[in-house]
């Protein structure tokens, strides 16, 4: 009979009710299983002993043999600290206790060899070690030492309550004794032999008590693989179920709209990436399953025409299509852009936003329901109850990070059967992350910019160089260019940020006076109509400078604007900086991005600025962003569950992730219900995991 791993942790030898409470509240360890899955952060070499004379100021944790020769008490602001003088044959140092002083004094044997272990500090010209782990040398010699002793995650509270790393190691040992270290296998024989994986029990043993470096590496590989494998299995299964259950509208043919446009009205040659993506979409739309596709493409990569041509496929099959954008300005731009593209095609396109008049709305509602209207473009207004389609076949969402998942599903309900969905985003998500988070969406990537684009010259300038920057602005305006000046507005309500914006605006107005210069200003506190008016003046080229907050971040297209100045650039995140820069470089002219900052820069800000000036590759920038902020932050807390990995790391272990995905896919393609006898273990493990883990609750 093996030990049931769901046994509450209280029952384990060496734990007891108090420690169990702490383990639960501090580390989320409720059961034996949870404890086994408490994986070490790192490993320490406990076979190495330092001499005091060898200590360096940057030494981390060290182990030293020596004697305590005496104690003194030192008064400090609050209470006192106990200082022990510790020496070996090369020098002396101090041991320091802020708590538990009486117990230390009573139990320490003076002038007796001890082994101490802990972090060292350099203070007042001597090394000291606060709250060292202490062991009599005579006892120490009886224990086996390993060159790789596990260091477990801990918290201050645990440390204060005496649950040191040694205690955790000890109870982990008890767990292995009690279970005899035998654990149920969770991967199939064929995977284990094919990938030469360690069996589960060996892997668990070696990750907690590594016998040597090689076994440790193999143990880690096996456990990371397993973790990622089951997540991928879940994501792919969900996608398969979705496809088999949810019938889409098959767009059987590519018809006149598409073909005429493609043959006669294409305004430019498509890039290879655009062609590939259109093919991928075509394949989805032609199949019986509902499409659920994410289209990633950097700013300016040409997603709009892909969207338009997908819509034509819907129209060719007698369906309607819609395109939803997060802001009024963007919707208007899409509306104008699509109208231009469809000029010769006899298609009816309308725009619906918050500021559409009642009359217009009524018109739209009517023509939508009777089928006269082919394409509807707009903001959230599209989601209103009253907006009913005759037969919506394709819904496209631009810049999806602005829309919640709930809103996405509202679009579904507009039909008896859900329309095909294409989500477009310009926020490049590193492929590995997309794979683990959006595994249920199919992904298309436009990884190529239209030809002839000049790289945007990006520089970093300190505020003290403002005069030079102003001179540069004047020169560019002289050449007929337009300029954005963007201020951070981190919080909509921040009065200070608005003051910065208005101060900046006023100083620009002083430098660039009327009537020679015309300046637009757009910010979140303005009425939509005023914003629109100011924006339009800039779009039409009536104003030369656009002073704005980040409301212009998304999608706006003014090809003649060739300079982007970002004020207080150190306050923006990388993704935002990249988006903002993407507003320029859309025309034929050399474009510039100037990042203005003060001299005070954090380490992270420096990395962000350096990254921006070094590269314009959205995926590379996204990778840096991911490293700086961590995956949870990037995807939002809502989705962070899936990234709550116990041992693997989506960034560092992307090769293993790729492997895991490959094998999960392969297994499911031959056996989608996991019914083959050789997949029994996988099915069982998968079921158990879905029952116990909430990490499977990822985005809908």
- 12, 35, 180, 269, 685 from 1: Cα distances, Å: 17, 20, 11, 69, 19
- Taking the least distance from each CB to Mg ion, the nearer of 326 and 555 is 555
List, as one string, the DSSP characters of 79-109.
SEEEEEEEEETTEEEEEEESS-HHHHHHHPP
Q: Which does 450 bind (CB under 5 to 8 A by kind): Mg ion, ligand ADP, none?
A: ligand ADP
E-strand spans in 557-631? 561-566, 592-597
- Measure the CA–CA gap between 271 and 276, rounded to whole angstroms: 9
Nearer to Mg ion, 320 or 400 (CB): 400
Minimum CB separation of residue 298 from Mg ion in Å reads 10
User: CA–CA separation, 521 vs 538, rounded Å?
Assistant: 9
Contact in structure between 132 and 118 (CB atoms under 8 Å): yes
Give the orientation angle of helix 618-629 with respect to helix 603-614, to 10 degrees. 170
CB of 261 to ligand ADP, least distance (A): 14
Q: Which does 301 bind (CB under 5 to 8 A by kind): Mg ion, ligand ADP, none?
A: ligand ADP
* Partner whose footprint covers residue 502, from ligand ADP, Mg ion, none (CB < 5 to 8 Å by kind): none
β-pair partners for 74: 81
Q: Is 598 helix (H, G, I), strand (E, B) or coil?
A: coil
Nearer to ligand ADP, 159 or 455 (CB): 455
Using the rule CB under 6 A, is 334 a contact of ligand ADP? no
Query: Can the peptide bond before residue 515 be classed as cis, meaning omega within 30 degrees of 0?
Result: yes
Q: At what angle do helices 574-581 and 618-629 cross, to 10 degrees?
A: 160
Q: Look at residue 300 and give the partner it binds from ligand ADP, Mg ion, none, a contact being a CB closer than 5 to 8 Å depending on partner kind.
A: ligand ADP
Number of residues engaging ligand ADP in binding (CB under 6 A)? 17
Q: Which of residues 266-305 bind ligand ADP (CB under 6 A)?
A: 268-271, 274, 297, 299-305
Mark the segment that binds Mg ion (CB under 5 A) among 189-197, 208-216, 385-393, 554-562.
554-562
Distances (CA, A) of 3 to 183, 228, 417: 9, 26, 49
Nearer to ligand ADP by Cβ, of 228 and 341: the residue is: 341
CB of 408 to ligand ADP, least distance (A): 19
CA 33, CA 19: separation in Å to the nearest integer?
16
Mutual angle of helices 213-245 and 654-670, in 10-degree steps = 50
In whole angstroms, what is the distance from residue 42 CA to residue 28 CA?
20
Binding mask 496-535 for Mg ion (x = CB under 5 A): ----------------------------------------
**Which tokens in the block code for residue 394?**
């394709």
The residue nearest ligand ADP at its CB is 302
Smaller CB separation from Mg ion, 550 or 568: 550
Question: Is the Cβ of residue 84 or residue 302 nearer to ligand ADP in the bound state?
Answer: 302
Tell me how far, at minimum, the Cβ of 576 lies from ligand ADP, in Å.
15
User: How far apart are CB 254 and ligand ADP at their closest, in Å?
Assistant: 19
Stretch that binds Mg ion, among 39-47, 178-186, 430-438, 552-560 (CB under 5 A): 552-560
End-to-end CA distance of the chain: 40
502-561: contacts with ligand ADP (CB under 6 A): 557
CA distance 155 to 140: 26
Tokens linked to 598: 């003060």
> Which stretches of 148-189 are assigned E, i.e. beta strand?
149-151
- Compare residues 207 and 556 and give the one whose CB is closer to Mg ion: 556
The mark string for 4-43 relative to ligand ADP (x by CB under 6 A, - otherwise) is ----------------------------------------
Structure tokens, 322:
């819609």
Other Cβ atoms less than 10 A from the Cβ of 201: the count is 16
> What residues have CB less than 8 Å from 376, skipping those under 6 apart?
320, 321, 322, 323, 349, 350, 351, 352, 364, 368, 382, 387, 389
Please identify, using beta-carbon distances, which residue of 504 and 585 lies nearer to ligand ADP. 585
Cβ proximity to ligand ADP: between 199 and 559 the closer is 559
- Considering beta carbons, is residue 450 or 573 the nearer one to ligand ADP? 450
Q: Is the dihedral of CA 629, 631, 635, 637 positive or negative?
A: negative
Q: Which of 286, 450, 524, 641 binds ligand ADP (CB under 6 A)?
A: 450
Q: Which residues contact 209 (CB under 8 A, 6 or more apart)?
A: 146, 150, 173, 176
Q: Under the criterion CB under 5 A, does residue 297 sit at the interface with Mg ion?
A: no
What does 274 bind: Mg ion, ligand ADP, none (CB cut-off 5 to 8 Å by kind)?
Answer: ligand ADP
Q: Which partner in Mg ion, ligand ADP, none is near 223 (CB below 5 to 8 A by kind)?
A: none
Per CB under 5 A, the segment of 411-419, 433-441, 501-509, 553-561 that binds Mg ion is 553-561
Phi-psi sector, 200: left (phi>0), alpha (psi -120 to 50), beta: alpha
Place of tokens 């002289």: 478
Segment lying near ligand ADP (by CB under 6 A), choices 98-106, 265-273, 499-507, 620-628: 265-273
Instruction: Identify what 52 binds: ligand ADP, Mg ion, none; CB under 5 to 8 Å per kind.
Output: none
Between 273 and 394, name the residue whose CB sits nearer to ligand ADP.
273
Distance CA 194, CA 179 (A): 28
Of these partners, Mg ion, ligand ADP, none, which one is at the site of residue 400 (CB under 5 to 8 Å by kind)? none
Our CB check for ligand ADP shows the closer of 304 and 436 to be: 304
302 binds, among Mg ion, ligand ADP, none (CB under 5 to 8 A by kind): ligand ADP
- Cα(554)–Cα(567) distance, integer angstroms: 17
Of 559-598, which residues contact ligand ADP (CB under 6 A)? Answer: 586
Any bridge partners for residue 570, and if so which?
A: none
> Residues 42-81: x/- map of binding to ligand ADP (CB under 6 A)?
----------------------------------------
Per CB under 6 A, contacts with ligand ADP among 171-230 are none
Residue 311 beta carbon to ligand ADP: minimum distance, rounded to whole angstroms = 13
Mark residues 305-324: x for contact with ligand ADP by CB under 6 A, - for none.
x-------------------
**CB of 586: closest distance to ligand ADP in angstroms?**
6
Count of helices and strands (H, E) across the chain = 25, 22
Which does residue 524 bind out of Mg ion, ligand ADP, none, counting CB within 5 to 8 angstroms by kind? none
Out of 84, 555, 582, 631, name the contact with Mg ion by CB under 5 A. Answer: 555
When binding is defined by CB under 6 A, the residue of 426, 501, 643, 647 that contacts ligand ADP is 426
Q: Which does 428 bind (CB under 5 to 8 A by kind): Mg ion, ligand ADP, none?
A: none
The radius of gyration of the chain from alpha carbons, rounded to an integer in Å, stands at: 32
Secondary structure (H, E, C), 351-409? EECCCCCHHHHHHHHHHHHHCCCCEEEECHHHHCCCCCCCCEEEEEEECHHHCCHHHHH
Q: Which is nearer to ligand ADP, 19 or 586 (CB)?
A: 586
In angstroms, give the least distance from the CB of 616 to Mg ion: 17
Distances (CA, A) of 133 to 166, 605, 609: 9, 39, 43
Backbone angles phi, psi at 117, to 5 degrees: -145, 135
DSSP 329: H
Residues that bind Mg ion (CB under 5 A): 555
Residues that bind ligand ADP (CB under 6 A): 268-271, 274, 297, 299-305, 426, 450, 557, 586
């Amino acid at each position: 009979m093996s030990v049931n791993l769901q046994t509450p942790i209280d029952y384990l030898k060496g734990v007891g009710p108090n420690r169990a409470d702490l383990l639960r509240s501090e580390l989320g360890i409720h059961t034996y299983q949870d404890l086994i899955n408490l994986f070490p952060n790192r490993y320490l070499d406990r076979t190495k002993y330092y001499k005091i004379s060898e200590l360096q100021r940057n030494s981390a944790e060290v182990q030293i043999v020596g004697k305590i020769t005496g104690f003194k008490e030192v008064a400090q602001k609050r209470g006192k600290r106990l200082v022990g003088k510790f020496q070996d044959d090369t020098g002396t140092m101090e041991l320091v206790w802020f708590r538990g002083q009486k117990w230390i004094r009573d139990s320490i044997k003076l002038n007796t060899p001890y082994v101490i272990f802990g972090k060292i500090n350099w203070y007042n010209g001597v090394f000291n070690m606060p709250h060292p782990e202490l062991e009599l040398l005579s006892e120490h010699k009886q224990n086996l030492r390993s060159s790789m002793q596990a260091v477990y995650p801990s918290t201050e509270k645990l440390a204060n309550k005496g649950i040191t790393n040694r205690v955790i190691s000890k109870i982990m040992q008890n767990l292995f004794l009690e279970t005899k270290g035998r654990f149920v296998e969770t991967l199939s024989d064929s995977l284990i032999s094919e990938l030469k994986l360690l069996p589960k029990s060996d892997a668990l043993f070696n990750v907690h008590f590594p016998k040597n470096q090689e076994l440790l590496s193999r143990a880690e590989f096996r456990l990371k693989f397993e973790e990622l494998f089951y997540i991928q299995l879940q994501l792919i299964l969900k996608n398969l179920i979705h496809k088999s259950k949810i019938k889409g509208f098959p767009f059987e043919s590519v018809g006149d709209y598409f073909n005429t446009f493609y043959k006669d009205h294409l305004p430019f040659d498509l890039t290879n990436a655009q062609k590939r993506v259109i093919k991928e979409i075509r394949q989805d739309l032609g199949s019986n399953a509902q499409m659920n596709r994410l289209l990633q493409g950097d700013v300016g990569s040409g997603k709009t025409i892909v969207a338009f041509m997908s819509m034509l496929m819907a129209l060719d099959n007698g369906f309607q299509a819609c395109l939803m954008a997060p802001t009024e300005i963007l919707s208007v731009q899409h509306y104008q852009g699509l109208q231009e593209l469809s000029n010769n095609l006899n298609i009816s396109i309308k725009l619906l936003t918050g500021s559409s008049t009642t009359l217009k709305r009524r018109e739209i509602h009517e023509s939508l329901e009777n089928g006269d209207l082919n394409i509807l473009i707009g903001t959230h207004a599209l989601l209103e109850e009253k907006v009913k389609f005759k037969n919506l076949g394709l819904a496209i969402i631009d810049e999806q990070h602005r829309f919640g998942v709930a809103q996405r599903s509202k679009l579904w309900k507009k039909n008896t059967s859900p329309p095909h969905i294409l989500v477009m985003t310009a926020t490049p998500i590193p492929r590995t992350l997309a794979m683990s988070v959006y595994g249920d969406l199919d992904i298309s990537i436009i990884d190529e910019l239209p030809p002839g684009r000049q790289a945007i010259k990006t520089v970093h300038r300190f505020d003290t160089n403002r005069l030079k920057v102003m001179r540069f602005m004047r020169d560019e305006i002289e050449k007929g260019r337009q300029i954005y000046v963007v201020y951070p507005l981190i919080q909509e309500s921040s009065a200070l940020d608005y003051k910065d914006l208005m101060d900046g605006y006023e100083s620009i107005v002083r430098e660039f006076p009327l009537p020679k210069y015309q300046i637009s200003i757009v910010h979140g506190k303005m009425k939509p109509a005023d914003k629109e008016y100011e924006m339009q003046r800039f779009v039409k080229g009536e104003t030369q400078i656009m002073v704005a907050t980040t409301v212009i971040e998304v999608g706006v297209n003014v090809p003649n604007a060739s300079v982007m100045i970002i004020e207080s650039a150190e306050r923006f995140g990388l993704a935002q900086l990249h988006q903002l820069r993407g507003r320029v470089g859309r025309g034929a002219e050399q474009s510039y991005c100037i990042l203005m900052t003060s001299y005070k820069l954090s380490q992270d800000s420096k990395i962000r600025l350096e990254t921006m000036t070094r590269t314009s590759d959205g995926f590379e920038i996204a990778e840096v962003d991911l490293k700086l902020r961590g995956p949870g932050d990037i995807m939002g807390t809502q989705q962070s569950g899936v990234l709550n990995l116990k041992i693997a790391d989506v960034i560092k272990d992307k090769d293993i992730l790729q492997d895991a995905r490959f094998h999960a896919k392969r297994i499911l393609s031959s056996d989608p219900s996991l019914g083959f006898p050789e997949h029994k273990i996988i099915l069982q493990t998968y079921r158990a995991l879905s029952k116990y883990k909430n990490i499977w609750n990822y985005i809908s």
